[in-house]
Amino acid sequence: MPRRTLASSFFRPQNYVMNYRGRRWRSLGADYTAVHAAWWRMLNGTNWITLDLTFHSLFLFLNTIEDGPLAFESATEYNRRLFRNWNTYLNQRDVVGRIQEGREPRHHAGQVERTNDRDYEVEERRYRTMESAANRLQKEAKGYLDSLRAMTASQMRIAETIDAFYGDAGTRDGVSRSYKQAVEDLDAETIKALDGPYRATVLEPISRFCAYFPDINECIKKRNNKLLDYDSMRSKVKKLVEKPDKDVTKLPRAEKEAEMAKQAYEQLNEQLFTELPQLIDLRVPYLDPSFEALVKIQLRFCAEAYSRMAQVQQYLDPETREQYARGDLDNRVEQVLSEIRDLTIAGTV
């Protein structure tokens, strides 16, 4: 006869309480007794409980019932806690059901004693940290090149706008045309000249480094699967030892399979435990040249930009440059604004 679980007999009462909570909650207000009674009516309508491995999560639910609603700040909080604990039980019960059907590893419900390798887990966490940082570095390195292009493109647009704004006045003194030419040269020569070296010395090495991660992750996944197989076979051997089968050949066969699973797991585990630290240690000497290239490329771009902008200064009014150096430029701007306000058409500004 199939076992009855609390969840199977609880289906309709649970729907009842969901309706009870949704449709009649407004009429309850802070009536703790009504909420408490509704949950007890659900429990009293159930058959005997098969606990299996879900006892702990079910105990949390029953313990909340036992505490009663007065142990909480409000009836809403009490009801919310009951639903959360009950859903925890349902999730755990579903895991047990899938395990019984062979659709989920028994580790998830604690039904198989798990092998723990603390030293390996430390190395895997270090690797995960490095993987995350390297992927972020790859993303930001590409973003830096895109940002340089976006900046020079923005400079091109503002230079064209300034040139159109100055018009003939800009043609006479050469300021706007000089600025536009400097920006065009910076975009056409400097950025394009830096694009190739940046890709070759920064982007591509970082991308090649990150390209190893999928294979390493697959190896880690394979190691975890071997661990599941090994623990499952150990559990099978343990059960046959504690409760011998009529077929005396089952235990030796299970022990042989367990030993094979152990060797497969330990071989892969040892390989990862040895090579993951080596990979982590190699990240610095591998990426150091790329970091140096990044600094040099940034220096070259900034130097080129400064040099080209400095050439524009010769077209600026010498008095304006001196006022800027003395910090008097703000006063001149205010003077010009005052003259604009004196105009009849700008008198209301």
Maximum separation of any 2 CA atoms in the chain, in Å:
112
CA angle 246, 251, 252 (to 5 degrees): 130
The pLDDT value given to residue 68: 57
Do 261 and 172 share a structural domain? yes
The pLDDT value given to residue 129: 93
Dihedral of CA 223/229/233/239: which sign? positive
Using CA atoms, how far residue 41 sits from 29, 33, 54, 231, 300, in Å, is 19, 12, 22, 43, 78
Task: Kindly report, residue by residue over 198-239, the tens digit of the pLDDT.
Answer: 999 999 999 999 999 999 999 999 999 988 888 888 888 888
Contacts of 58 (CB under 8 A, 6+ apart): 6, 49, 51, 89
Do 293 and 192 share a structural domain? yes
Residue that finishes a domain, picked among 83, 109, 135: 109
Do 137 and 96 share a structural domain? no
* Closest CA relative to residue 2, chosen from 109, 135, 114, 100: 100
Residue that finishes a domain, picked among 109, 138, 163: 109
Looking at the structure of the chain, the number of domains it has is: 3
The pLDDT value given to residue 279: 92
CATH of the domain at 221: 1.20.1270.60
Task: Kindly report, residue by residue over 249-295, the tens digit of the pLDDT.
Answer: 888 888 898 899 889 999 999 999 999 999 999 988 999 999 999 99
Using CA atoms, how far residue 131 sits from 277, 291, 292, in Å, is 13, 17, 21
Do 90 and 53 share a structural domain? yes
Phi, psi of 217, deg, nearest 5: -65, -35
The pLDDT value given to residue 25: 37
Domain with 327 in it: 319-349
* Closest CA relative to residue 66, chosen from 78, 83, 50: 78
Do 147 and 225 share a structural domain? yes
Do 292 and 270 share a structural domain? yes
Residue 281 forms part of a structural domain:
yes
Q: For the chain, what is the radius of gyration of the CA atoms?
A: 37
User: Cα–Cα distance between 189 and 162 in angstroms, integer?
Assistant: 22
- Percent of the chain residues topping a pLDDT of 90: 23
pLDDT tens by residue, the chain, 349 residues? 444 333 333 333 343 333 334 434 333 343 445 555 555 555 554 433 333 444 444 555 555 555 555 566 666 776 777 677 666 656 655 554 544 444 444 444 444 456 677 888 899 999 999 999 999 999 999 999 889 888 888 988 998 888 888 776 555 567 788 888 888 888 888 888 888 899 999 999 999 999 999 999 999 999 999 888 888 888 888 888 888 878 778 888 888 988 998 899 999 999 999 999 999 999 889 999 999 999 999 999 889 888 888 888 777 777 766 766 676 667 777 777 777 777 766 555 4
Do 295 and 162 share a structural domain? yes
CA torsion 266→268→270→275, rounded to 10°?
-170
